[in-house]
Amino acid sequence: MAKARRSSRDTKRELTSREIEAMEDRCRLPQAVVATLGVAAAGGDPARGVAPAAIPPTVKRGEHGKACLVEQPEPAAEFEELVMSDGKVKAVLRRRGASDAGFLDWVNATWSSESWKQWAMGVPLDDDDVVLLCSVKLEQVFGFGVTTKRDRGLNFYKESWVLGDGYGYLCIGGQRGTVLVMVNGEGLAAARAGWEQRLHTFLAAGCDGGKLTRVDVARDFFDGSYSVDTAAADFDAGLFRLPKSPSDPDCEQRGNWRKWNGKGRTFCVGQRASGKYARIYEKGKQLGSPASNWVRVEVEFKSVDRVIPFDILLSPGMYLAGAYPAFEGFGVCASRMTTIRETKVVSKEKKEAWVSRQCGKDLFALVELEEGETPEARALNLINRLQVEELPNWAKVPDWRYAGEPAHVLHETKFGLRVTGRHAGTGTMSAAY
């Protein structure tokens, strides 16, 4: 009886400090596991920008030493989180800084070809029909669609098509029944305003198998405030090593770092085959202007052992700043139009130097032999007589309105296609299927 009373009293006693600490240690989960479980429990999806559930409460002592539950604040994303995706543990890119500290310079996305076929209401489709369906959606998103078919495949796909006026490619055939869409930097600059939100909405809507497989985020420095030498110094200072990383990533110096030759240098961090790869290079010199101070910082994210959230389309600068501690201080960058204008200025200078070198003497003689009272009049007469009123590729400004007729406008499909909008001036198209 006495033993029973002692047991009753023991069950009602308060926990000691040592017992509470032992309980905390047994209940505490590693941060990566907590993040993974949080995503599953809350139905979150890091690829779609859905944050994992809050970290569960832990045991803590109150004022009088009694155990109580408290809510844990969500920790700052000091390193790339680990999540479970497709049965594998993958890293999720971290965010830092301003959303407009960088701009998108390349986007790859894949979808299951079956997800496109299901829109055809049961009508059997071949790959060419799927390409036309994709062209419709791409024009809705970017303002340009599929234009011409290439005579060979690409990236291990059997067939490939050109997007717009050389703005990228669409690949189909093989590769586990997927469709790959690749849009390059010129295509993103040419795209109709607001394409980022439209692509994000389309991906987040849950199209089967839709995911981002590569996204390049870039930032331009036109005034020399960040250079390849700065990047090399940052690497030496450990600013390209993420917190908790056991070692520095690989680095590579390209170009002539010993004796300046005006051709431009590049500083690379990481490995190209990995999921994150940084390039800092002298863009202006690369384009042919030896005196240019234009430097581009670019990070290439790939879905190799990591998840690329759809949110990167809306806040690219935050993912650029979050890629490495060296980039965390980047503020708001110049507009994309500034980059386009600088590109054309450098291209013009390069072309003028080529014309002077290759044709300067001939031009002088032709002007002297031309009719006219003054040298200016003779030069103008010569130009008006010889010029071809068509812009060369280097002088064209990327614009979706001049991207060429999309394939789905030129072809009749078996499920019926109705074109609306772009040729009426709204820039949108829809299909009746």
Higher pLDDT, 36 or 126: 126
pLDDT at 119: 61
Q: Is the pLDDT of residue 4 over 50?
A: no
Task: Give the highest mean pLDDT range of 22-31, 95-104, 194-203.
Answer: 194-203
Q: What is the pLDDT of residue 392?
A: 76
Q: Compute the mean pLDDT over every residue in the chain, rounded to the nearest whole number.
A: 73
Q: Are 264 and 286 in contact (CB under 8 A)?
A: yes
- Judged by average pLDDT, the poorest of 9-13, 163-167, 306-310 is 9-13
What confidence score (pLDDT) does residue 21 get? 53
Query: Is 252's pLDDT higher than 90?
Result: yes
Residues 75-84: what's their mean pLDDT? 43
Residue appearing with tokens 């050109």? 162
Nearest Cα to Cα of residue 207 among 30, 420, 47:
47
Between CA 302 and CA 309 the distance in angstroms is: 11
pLDDT at res. 300: 96
Q: How confident is the model at residue 98 (pLDDT cuts 50, 70, 90)?
A: low
Q: Taking 50 as the threshold, does the pLDDT of residue 431 lie above it?
A: no
Task: Label residue 424 by pLDDT band (50, 70, 90).
Answer: very low
Average pLDDT over residues 296-309: 89
User: Residue 204: its pLDDT value, please?
Assistant: 86
Whether residue 298 contacts residue 105, with contact meaning beta carbons closer than 8 Å, is answered with: yes
| pLDDT at position 210 over 70 | yes
Per-residue pLDDT, averaged over 380-407, amounts to 76
Question: What is the separation of C-alpha 126 from the centre of its chain, rounded to a whole number of angstroms?
Answer: 30
Domain boundaries, the chain: 14-75, 94-337, 338-400
Q: Is the pLDDT of residue 314 over 80?
A: yes
pLDDT at 242: 80
| Residue bearing the bigger pLDDT, 339 or 269 | 269
Q: Decide if pLDDT at 92 tops 70.
A: no
Q: Is the pLDDT of residue 382 over 70?
A: yes
What pLDDT is stored for residue 174 in this prediction?
82
In the predicted structure, residue 29 carries a pLDDT above the cut 60: no
Could you read off the pLDDT of 354-377 as tens digits, one per residue? Answer: 788 888 888 888 888 888 888 888
> What is the band of 341 on the pLDDT scale with cuts at 50, 70, 90?
low
- pLDDT for 121 equals 62
Q: Is the pLDDT of residue 77 over 60?
A: no
pTM value is 0.66
pLDDT > 70: percent of the chain? 64
pLDDT at residue 118 tops 80: no
Stretch 104-128: mean pLDDT, rounded?
78
Predicted local confidence at residue 215, as pLDDT = 96
pLDDT of res. 71 = 36
Question: Residue 39: is its pLDDT beyond 50?
Answer: no
Chain position carrying tokens 């965010």 = 95
Q: Give me the mean pLDDT over the 84-95 stretch.
A: 51
* 257 contacts 144 by C-beta, under 8 angstroms: no
Average pLDDT over residues 271-280: 92
